[in-house]
Amino acid sequence: MNKNDLYRSMQEIDDEILEESEKKTVKKPLLKWVLVAACAALVIAAAAVTVPLLTKAPETPEQPAVIKDNRYDENKTALASEVAIEWPREYQTPMERYSAFEFNGAAYVSRSNVISDESLLGEIIYDENASKYEIFGWDSYTEEEKQELEMEGFEIRKIKNVDSDKLIAVRIFGEYVVFRSCIGEKEFPETFKEFYDGYGLSQTLKLDTYCEKEGYGIGDWFKTDAGQYVTDALADCGDAPLVSTDGAHFADKYGITFTATSEALGVYKKTFIITEEGYLCTNIAEYGYTFEIGKDKANEIISYVKAHSEKTDMEPFYSSVAGIITKIGDGYILVDDSVLCEDEKDGIVYKIPTDSIIVRRWIEYYHLNVGDAVMIEYKGDISKDCTVNGIVSMAEAIITGEGAIVEE
């Protein structure tokens, strides 16, 4: 099998798989309220949480800017939207173009997370049947696009400690993206051992941040060095039965809720909950699996973790900045967040690079302009000159007396 054959397998998919991959379409906005200034919100301005008025300049340009918090009016909010846009092919990211495919008789969909540490990758998977698949819509490509795809190529690799019938890594335009298989109900694990071994949890799962949960409320947040203890202790729960696939048995119970992030598993800030009632609930496999591990084991783990923890601040899902576009320059746009500040003099003008297609398409295709409001989410930091790094999403917003309404 050559690279061309492999690449052609990426999009030979049926309607059901396309639906599973959550391909974006234009929909009527469904608005929901989220706080801009409050630390409890997952979608909030970066300044209100950990960073962003400049005080002392860092010593090197690489260091993040030091930005005074509490700049935003606590009564202002952001109204976020569920709207998605079906971007033309030339404005899609590689992960948007190639979000689902069939390989070795199974359908896979992207988890949209990248493996940057290649030591997590296993051997390359070859399959003689893959050559029968053709890229979906191949005839719609220009000759230049076909040549680019054929020259780039891709490869499919195993992920160390993880069953390849659950997750694989696919190299797309130089990045290894995690894809998960689309399983049916008959393939749900019957016991925790199947789940634990299949995803190699003792080697792949990092649990170092959690919050206490009492009923439906969220308590304090903690850092712990007991994450490895947790995954090792759970090895004794192999016989624990699967009792639910919809996240039941924990909603109104006391427990500890870990933030589960794993590059190998392609998950970012999923949940991993252990309750006093003896249940383990997690969505790291997309479904809300609940296993009955028993009260004794659950409380043993909870007690150990609490004895090896210290309080910390809640981390947002993503950091974000919001404001008004004040300039569209060569390779960047400027966004001023003064409109959201309690005192407009505390406003910051952020530099947003347009080398990312995520940003550029809003200017070139959607035609956002000076005076429009936007929100940008990012995983990186804010550098000395207030450049936002590691942008993961951008959305149009509407600024109101109460804050920003965001239409993604």
pLDDT in tens, 226-241: 999 999 999 999 999 9
Residue range 271-324, pLDDT digits in tens: 999 999 999 999 999 888 999 999 999 999 999 999 999 999 887 777 888 889
Q: List, as own/partner pairs, every contact residues 342-346 make where C-beta atoms lie below 8 angstroms and the sequence separation is at least 24, other chains included.
A: 342/71, 342/72, 342/73, 342/74, 343/71, 346/53, 346/68, 346/71
Instruction: Report the percent of the chain where pLDDT is more than 90.
Output: 41
Handedness of CA 311, 317, 321, 322 (dihedral sign): negative
Query: Which range, 85-89, 202-206, 318-322, has the best average confidence (pLDDT)?
Result: 202-206
Q: Hey, what's the torsion of the CAs at 287, 290, 291, 292, to 10 degrees?
A: -170
Candidates 3.30.1490, 2.60.40, 2.40.50, 3.30.930; correct CATH number of 318-407? 2.40.50
Residue 22 has what pLDDT? 40
Average pLDDT, the chain: 76
Query: Amino acid identity of 33?
Result: W
CA nearest 313: which of 382, 222, 224? 222
What is the pLDDT, as a whole number, of residue 50? 27
Q: What is the pTM of this model?
A: 0.72
145 pLDDT above the threshold of 80: no
Strand partners, 92: none
State the pLDDT at residue 336: 93
Sorted by where each begins, the domain ranges of the chain are 3-26+87-182, 186-312, 318-407
Q: Which position has the higher pLDDT, 155 or 198?
A: 198
Contact criterion met (CB below 8 Å) for 279 and 249: yes
Is residue 390 a contact partner of residue 379, using CB atoms and an 8 Å limit?
yes
Helix (H, G, I), strand (E, B) or coil at 403: strand
| CB 48, CB 37: distance < 8 Å | yes
Residue matched to tokens 């003008």? 349
Give the torsion sign (CA, 65, 68, 73, 76): positive
In angstroms, how far is CA 55 from the centroid of its own chain?
31
pLDDT greater at residue 181 or residue 318: 181
Cβ contact 21:12 at 8 Å: no
**pLDDT tens digits along 352-385:** 999 989 999 999 999 999 999 898 989 888 998 8
Query: Is residue 68 scored above 60 in pLDDT?
Result: no
